[in-house]
Amino acid sequence: MPELPEVETVRRGLSPVMEGQVITKADVNRPDLRWPFPDRMAERLTGQRVERLRRRSKYILADLSSGETLLVHLGMSGRMLVSGDPLGVFVHDHPAPEKHDHVVFHMENGARITFNDPRRFGAMDLMETATAESHKLLSVLGPEPLGNDFHETHLINAFRGKMTPVKAALLDQKIVAGLGNIYVCEALFRAGISPRRKAGRIAKPRVAALVPIIRQVLRDAIEAGGSSLRDFRQADGELGYFQHSFDVYGREGEPCRSPGCTGTVGRIVQSGRSSFFCAQCQR
């Protein structure tokens, strides 16, 4: 499932062709994805200007001139692909419709944004912009890791007394929003912290040091266009490239990249997810 860097990469790719533009027509080609689409979704989107395109955790949010906000979740295999862009950023002509093109936005500038999702684990919803933060999917989220509310004091307090592994704590969206398995593994490696360590037993200075490390891992991934492991594509259809920079994720049995370390990357399963780490470097 795309994590924060992948979703932010898609948002940035969509912004030039959606922000400030009117949706002249919205095609909704099925009644649902992961759950049913909102009532009259095509009608409520058609004719509305996209005032702002933003991201909250792993969700893309489009604030509309109607006072509603469109929430988009890519799910496991969802893609939002741009074609026919008059700005010249996207060189793709409008492709022929495909089987899994479930929602299509026709923009007044001639661009077309197609939401394609073979597995249909994605989702869309409409909500009042003024009360968007109270939406059931958004109200439970913790601070954005790249925002001002995610700081050393917050993470130290969140970890205090917590006897779950630090890997699970960082995946808890109530503690920090948008982190997933890939970037938690990478951040813990850079911090030299074992994914097995109990969150509440990590010294405060080490917890505090995690904050800038997490931010840098995410910034590096965004700069590389995210990580393409299976289905992820940027808005122009290109792959992300951060997977070529992984220090530990997916590198089981390969040499550790820490200078002077003679260890190899290992893998354990925690809560049904693979954790990759170097037992020599991460304590």
Which residues are catalytic, by number? 2-3, 58, 273
Residues 6+ apart with CB under 8 A from 223: none
Q: How far apart are the first and last CA of the chain?
A: 28
Rounded Cα distance, 62 and 192, in Å: 38
Strands 112-116 and 123-128: unpaired
Q: Rg of the Cα trace of the chain? A: 20
CB 15 within 8 A of CB 53: yes
CB 2 within 8 A of CB 74: yes
